[in-house]
Structure 1
Amino acid sequence: MKTISLCMIVKDEEEVLERCLRPVRPFVEEIIIADTGSKDSTKVIAAGYADQVYSFPWNDDFAAARNFAFSKASMDYCMWLDADDVMTQENLEKLKIWKNQEDRADVVMMKYLTGVDEKGRPSLSYYRERLLKNHSGFWWKGKVHEAIPLAGTIQYTDMEVLHQKVKKGDPDRNLRIYENMRKEGGLQEPREWFYYGRELYDHQNYSRALEVLHHFQEMPGAWLENKIESCLQAAACQEALGNETEAMGELVRSFLWSAPRAEICCEIGRLWMKQKQWKNAAAWYQQALRDTRSLQSGAFIREDCRGFLPAIQLCVCYDHMGSRKRAYGYHCLAKKFRPDSEWVLYNDRYFSDTN
């Protein structure tokens, strides 16, 4: 049977830490926690579940903290979770089954659910490296939005981890770290520029975000999936600046690197809808429905863009074009995806009232 060291870094997580640790404790052989300066009861809670609890001086470097925790692991595999992550009993049972299988991949990928809708259904997900063979040279890189460069045999699984925040952290922390890196000449990797641009967008510094995202897109070695995602971010910047034509151009730029993605198509469709160009919008939403991209690409997957969203928008488009039969058909399709959506319920009433 494979053994697991769960390695975590925490700070002021008293509200969520026990929620994370209690279910997972019976399924791992070792828990190692590096506390980076908690002022609440986090370390006390950690001591009730962890085999080792360390104090790690925070130095604005997530990779350094995670690597410290990994360095203390003694089991076959290192696994990581954040304090506000949750593994359901169903997924923990899958982990138990995996542990008893003979295959020994170097890296085990699990789907990370980082966004949910009003009903708790996944709305944003992507695969992350979750279990890594110990003593095999796997180390975290990146002061912020840290990741482990993948190597060896990679296994994709149907196990899932839900990221479930209960409070907001410091909204300026990541941007502050990136700005300090830039001043010190430490922004070198394409991934760092990509996330720096996203942080600038989140802080509504749209013009500077565009400069950074465009620079990232031209960098040698920039990951294709991040390039495509950067087009969505750049388009949002242009739209926020009132440049809708340029926003469309940013989205189309993604076709340099890939066939149209559902997320891109939905944004192009939305921009056409803003101009009441219903036929043009419908063409792009239909393309979104045809996207069958593998979830194992590593990209940010917006679940609704391959089903509910284009269906509900096609209902609107065809209704405006006077094709009631097609509009109703797409309403029925949207209803299959999300029968309890307020938009679907509204359209139920609309079609009932106009029959």
Structure 2
Amino acid sequence: MITISLCMIVKNEERVLKRCLDSVRDLVDEIIIVDTGSTDATKRIAAGYTDKIYDLTWNDDFSAARNFAFSKATKEYIYSADADEVLSEENRRRFRLLKETLLPEIEIVQMKYGNQLQNGTVYNFDEEYRPKLFRRLRSFVWEEPIHETVRLEPVVYDSDIVITHMPEQNHAGRDLANFRKQIAQGRRLSRRLYGMYA
């Protein structure tokens, strides 16, 4: 059975954090919470689940915050969750089975992100695969019997686990403001982000 660190970045999530943590707390072996400036009871709620709570000054960079959270993980795999996500009982069962049977060569597990259209999100589809579970340390493997090379692409498994996304608000305004700030600072958007901004 694999071991899992849950890594989350949060800010002012007192209304939804308990719901999220209750749905995963017994499926993971470690809970890491990175708070980026909460002014509500978020950190107090988190303290009921873990003592691994870290403060990080917000700098408009979700990747930097997630990388910081990942750097605190100690288990074999890292499960990245947002506070507005929930696992149903059926998907908790699937997650537990995955934890018990995951093949060691799997480096990334994708899970279906569901309920996309329910709360006025900007998505055009209700369900999509997203990478959610990551091997913390990657092992490089040589391939090919001749002219051998190191495998560069990760081994990805598309699971049948569905995460229910239950946001309480639309984040489009926040995201557009961040896009504009990045552009104003002279940063080039990646092709992926440019398409999303458009």
For Structure 1 versus Structure 2, the TM-score category normalised by the shorter chain is 0.7 to 0.9
Is 2:24 the partner of 1:24? yes
Q: How far apart are the structure 1 equivalents of 2:186 and 2:11? A: 28
Tell me if the contact between 1:76 and 1:133 (Cα under 8 Å) persists in the aligned partners.
yes
- Distance verdict in 2 for CA 1:27–1:185, change over 3 Å: same
Return the letter of the residue paired with 1:53. Answer: I
1:18-68 Cα shifts (integer Å, max 9, x gaps): 000012101100000001111100000011112411111000000000110
Secondary structure of the 1:100 match is helix
1:59-89 Cα shifts (integer Å, max 9, x gaps): 0000000110011000010111110001011
Question: Among residues 152, 155, 178, which one is paired with 1:153 in the alignment?
Answer: 155
Return the letter of the residue paired with 1:57. Answer: T
**Range 5-14 or range 97-106, more displaced:** 97-106
Instruction: Name which structure has the greater RCO, CA cutoff 8 Å, separation 6+.
Output: 2
Identity of aligned residues (%): 42
Following superposition, the deviation at residue 171 of structure 1 comes to 4.6
Following superposition, the deviation at residue 185 of structure 1 comes to 2.3
Tell me the C-alpha RMSD between the 2 structures: 2.0
Identify the residue that residue 77 of structure 1 maps to in structure 2.
Answer: 77
Following superposition, the deviation at residue 184 of structure 1 comes to 2.3
The answer for unaligned runs of 5 or more in structure 2 is 120-124, 140-151
Between Structure 1 and Structure 2, the one with more helix by share is: 1
Between Structure 1 and Structure 2, the one with more strand by share is: 2
1:112-150 Cα shifts (integer Å, max 9, x gaps): 0142569xxxx611000010000239xxxxxxxxxxxx9
Point out the structure with max Rg over C-alpha.
1
Name the TM-score, length of structure 1 as normaliser: 0.48
Name the TM-score, length of structure 2 as normaliser: 0.85
Identify the residue that residue 114 of structure 2 maps to in structure 1.
Answer: 113
Question: 1:218-237, aligned counterparts within 5 Å?
Answer: none
Following superposition, the deviation at residue 176 of structure 1 comes to 1.6
Q: How far apart are the structure 1 equivalents of 2:136 and 2:160? A: 22
Identify the residue that residue 132 of structure 1 maps to in structure 2.
Answer: 134
Following superposition, the deviation at residue 97 of structure 1 comes to 1.0
- Distance verdict in 2 for CA 1:80–1:59, change over 3 Å: same
Identify the residue that residue 309 of structure 1 maps to in structure 2.
Answer: none
The count of corresponding residues between Structure 1 and Structure 2 is 180
Secondary structure of the 1:27 match is coil
Identify the residue that residue 187 of structure 1 maps to in structure 2.
Answer: 188
Q: How far apart are the structure 2 equivalents of 1:53 and 1:12? A: 14
Secondary structure of the 1:124 match is coil
Q: How far apart are the structure 2 equivalents of 1:39 and 1:102? A: 39
The answer for unaligned runs of 5 or more in structure 1 is 138-149, 198-355
